[in-house]
Amino acid sequence: MSGSRNAWCKRAWLIGLGLSLAAGMAHRPVYAIKQFADEFKEVYVKEGTPLAAEVENAKCNVCHVGKSKKDRNAYGHALAERLDKKEDKDDKEKIRKALEEVAALSSEPGKADAPTFGQLIAEGKLPGGPISE
């Protein structure tokens, strides 16, 4: 009887461990396009700055809103107009050029006194605005 109890305990422990690992991996946010995120960080993010903390917290929400990669904020839309996620993901020069072009754009095109995306970044703010769920 103790042998079957030990086997049951071992099975229950392994199932619990598996569920814990699966839950931890499912909750982990990822960048939508790693190469784009890497270039953004390379160009704009300096360790120990307010922007670094914001980007670390935002993860893929630097360009996206919500949980779907299909939903972009204004910054993400501006980049998507210039970059193709499949064709351009390995073209660092094109990614950097797109980042530079988008930095010069107004964060709110209909508002005359709105800061550019680049100005927001320089102020240590996320270019697409605060994270919203």
Q: Using alpha carbons, select from 108, 110, 88 the residue that is nearest to residue 99.
A: 88
Sign of dihedral through CA atoms 52, 57, 59, 63? negative
Indicate the domain borders of the chain. 1-29, 34-122
pLDDT, tens only, 24-45: 444 333 346 899 999 999 999 9
Per-residue pLDDT at 14? 60
Is residue 75 within 8 A of residue 127, CB to CB? The reply is yes
Say which residue the tokens 């779907």 belong to. 68
How far apart CA 79 and CA 54 sit, in angstroms, is 19
pLDDT, tens only, 91-113: 999 999 999 999 999 999 999 99
Per-residue pLDDT at 27? 36
